[in-house]
Chain A
Amino acid sequence: MNLTVDKLNVSYGDKEVLKNISFSVNKGEIATIIGPNGSGKTTLIKAASRCLKPTCGNIYIGDMKIDEMNTRTIAQKLAVLPQVKNVSSDVSVEELVSYGRYPHLKFGKKLCREDKEIVDWALEKTGMKELRKRYAVSLSGGERQRAWIAMTLAQKSRIIILDEPTTFLDISYQLEVLELVRELNQSLGLTVIMVLHDLNQAARYSDKILVMNNGRICCMGRPEDVVNTCLLKDIFKINADIYDDKINNCLFLIPRNTIA
């Protein structure tokens, strides 16, 4: 299922933060949003996940406008992992993941066998099986992040939106989360939209990169077409050299210095 954003404008009060954003992410694609701090990435994610109302413009899932869809129906098609999350001190990993089934539950009904199997599957996929009885607050940052990802997986949606899924994780957990995202994308055909700060990771794991600056998308395309020295100079204000990573079959960059 593809997600299309059409001429989207979003403001906080009278401060316009997103200006005329249009793009489309195709079914089965991994699209990564990059951009400097404050460029509007989180705002875009929030608008796409209906947490913020746009001042104008539309968002489509397939060919349906999201503001004309029932919020539960959207939740069955699109799962979101926001940056800021909250969990009570006595919620176990298993319970947390089972909340992912909420959009599929009928009014007043409990989890059925199928729901439980899906929860098991999500725990398995994220390698959280051994930790399922633990309280979510007692986990390490990386383990907790994987528990939340398991919750979004349990939603069984075709599209997943992740805001900075790797922040606060050490390098091995970062790799693990991104490998998991790619694995899910390849095995289940999930459409993924995420925000990353690490440009090397963005280049390695994305089919498409969207570069944001000052509330606009300034360019988008395949990583090798988008990430170049000009972009790094203009948008990220660094001088960097770009190399070819033969092993992972992608490009990588080594920053030299910032441009004062």
Chain B
Amino acid sequence: MDSKNMKIEKIKKKSILFIFICLSAASFLISIGNGAVKISAGEILSALLFRQDTVNSQIIWNVRLPRTIAASLTGTCLALSGSILQGVMRNPLASPNIIGVSSGAGLMTLIVLILFPEFYFLAPLGAFAGALLATMFIYFLAWKDGAGPNRIILAGVAVSSLLGAGNNAIMTFYPDKVSGIIGFMVGGLSATNWQDVFTIIPYASAGIIMVLLIQNKLNILMLGDEVATGLGINVERTRFFFIIISSLLAGAAVSVVGLLGFVGLIVPHMTRLFIGSDYRYLMPATIFTGSFVVVICDTLARTMFAPVEIPVGIIMSALGAPFFLYLLRRKAEY
């Protein structure tokens, strides 16, 4: 009877995971199928499976597919990054945006794009470097016989606003270049191409694989530093490693989509509301929910006010916040 209960629980979680996978696959079809030209699911599948020379096939392969993959990868990276941070900091407000990792990546990207536009192709590298430097700086500030979660978050918030000031200063000094980067500031995916996809794939897949290999440790870390130490985890080292992975993931995303807020904060919570806080299920689920949410929001951003395209960040916040509040109210015990 008891072990039956446990099995049902497991089956339930696995089915939720399966539903997320289906939703995320469906979101790919929706995203690729919608735009100035509507393309049916059948046509998409045949174009993807057998490369044809039709116009629609061109649109799919050259425009929509790379953009959809970029949206999916950035969503996954940001959501995973947020989920990791919330776990290691044991704080529901932690996210790459709030603890300064994103703004580090953002500032470096801005510097490259505005001050050294001829090196635009180095922007992704700059973003990783920025995320990593911001992380190190936060650690340096927070370190005092070890770095506890609260101190890291406080240092992160401080660094974040410092870097934000840097961002604004650059934009004030170069007002003529601002219009081109507004999409970057709120997060946008217009004009993403295969190049973007190929630049972030190595970082994203490395991050995802590492997370899936050691997700079990997050469950233990959640029990508190002392219990985790007692269970044989090197808490400082593990936390640092997780934070590096999460800044790697956030950096990868920021270099393509810009400062897309909200995904890293809200998607992990949404996923947790459905599947619970066991990281062995939460992490795989977050991969698909992150992808689903950004792909759908990006489709809306492209099509809602066509032919005008609005940055996906605006859609994210406009839809995400109310939906999140609704979930919170429905699940009163959360």
Interface residues in chain A, defined as those with a beta carbon under 8 Å from any beta carbon in chain B: 12-13, 46, 49-51, 53, 71-76, 78-82, 84-91, 94-95, 99-100, 102-103, 108, 132-133, 152, 155
**A interface footprint on B271-290 (CB within 8 Å = 1, 0 otherwise):** 00000111000000000000
Interface contact B278-A90, CB-CB below 8 Å:
yes
- By beta carbon, the residue of chain A nearest B222 is A88
Interface contact B224-A86, CB-CB below 8 Å:
yes
Interface contact B223-A49, CB-CB below 8 Å:
no
Interface contact B2-A132, CB-CB below 8 Å:
yes
Of A51, A133, A155, which is within 8 A of B226 by CB?
A: A51
Interface contact B226-A46, CB-CB below 8 Å:
yes
Interface contact A71-B233, CB-CB below 8 Å:
yes
Of A53, A84, A99, which is within 8 A of B231 by CB?
A: A99
Q: What total count of A-B pairs have CB within 8 Å?
A: 79
Given contacts A72-B232, A103-B231, contact A53 B277 (CB under 8 A): no
Q: Is B90 an interface residue (CB 8 A)?
A: yes
Interface contact A99-B219, CB-CB below 8 Å:
yes
CA distance A200 to B2 in the complex (A): 40
Q: Is B229 an interface residue (CB 8 A)?
A: yes
Q: Please give the distance in Å from A182's CB to the nearest CB on chain B.
A: 22
- By beta carbon, the residue of chain B nearest A100 is B231
Q: Is B179 an interface residue (CB 8 A)?
A: no
B215-239 residues with Cβ-Cβ distance < 8 A to A are 216, 219-220, 222-227, 229-234
Interface contact B219-A71, CB-CB below 8 Å:
no
Given contacts A49-B226, A84-B226, contact A133 B231 (CB under 8 A): no
Interface contact A51-B232, CB-CB below 8 Å:
no
Q: Please give the distance in Å from A178's CB to the nearest CB on chain B.
A: 21
A–B pairs, 6, beta carbons within 8 Å: A49-B226, A80-B226, A89-B334, A99-B231, A102-B220, A155-B231
- By beta carbon, the residue of chain B nearest A72 is B232
Q: Is B145 an interface residue (CB 8 A)?
A: yes
B1-22 residues with Cβ-Cβ distance < 8 A to A are 2, 5-6
Q: Please give the distance in Å from A167's CB to the nearest CB on chain B.
A: 15
Chain B residues positioned under 8 Å from A100 (CB to CB): 231
In order of increasing CB-CB distance, the 9 nearest A-B pairs are: A75-B232, A80-B230, A82-B226, A103-B232, A72-B232, A86-B224, A88-B277, A90-B276, A102-B231
Q: Is B333 an interface residue (CB 8 A)?
A: yes
Chain A residues positioned under 8 Å from B213 (CB to CB): 108
Chain A residues positioned under 8 Å from B223 (CB to CB): 85-87, 99
Chain B residues positioned under 8 Å from A133 (CB to CB): 2, 5-6
Of A51, A86, A91, which is within 8 A of B229 by CB?
A: A51
Q: Please give the distance in Å from A102's CB to the nearest CB on chain B.
A: 5
Chain A residues positioned under 8 Å from B230 (CB to CB): 49, 75, 78-82, 152, 155
**A interface footprint on B121-163 (CB within 8 Å = 1, 0 otherwise):** 0000000000000000000000011000000000000000000
- By beta carbon, the residue of chain A nearest B5 is A133
Chain A residues positioned under 8 Å from B6 (CB to CB): 94, 133
Interface contact B229-A71, CB-CB below 8 Å:
yes
Interface contact B226-A76, CB-CB below 8 Å:
no
Q: Please give the distance in Å from B226's CB to the nearest CB on chain A.
A: 4
Q: Please give the distance in Å from A93's CB to the nearest CB on chain B.
A: 11
CA distance A51 to B231 in the complex (A): 11
Chain A residues positioned under 8 Å from B334 (CB to CB): 89
Chain B residues positioned under 8 Å from A76 (CB to CB): 232
Chain B residues positioned under 8 Å from A86 (CB to CB): 90, 222-224, 227
Chain B residues positioned under 8 Å from A78 (CB to CB): 230
Q: Please give the distance in Å from B196's CB to the nearest CB on chain A.
A: 32
CA distance A81 to B231 in the complex (A): 10
Interface contact B333-A75, CB-CB below 8 Å:
no
Of B90, B222, B231, which is within 8 A of A75 by CB?
A: B231
Chain B residues positioned under 8 Å from A132 (CB to CB): 2
CA distance A74 to B231 in the complex (A): 9
Of A71, A72, A82, A88, which is within 8 A of B227 by CB?
A: A82
Interface contact A85-B225, CB-CB below 8 Å:
no
CA distance A71 to B229 in the complex (A): 8
CA distance A103 to B216 in the complex (A): 12
Given contacts A82-B230, A90-B277, A99-B223, contact A53 B145 (CB under 8 A): yes
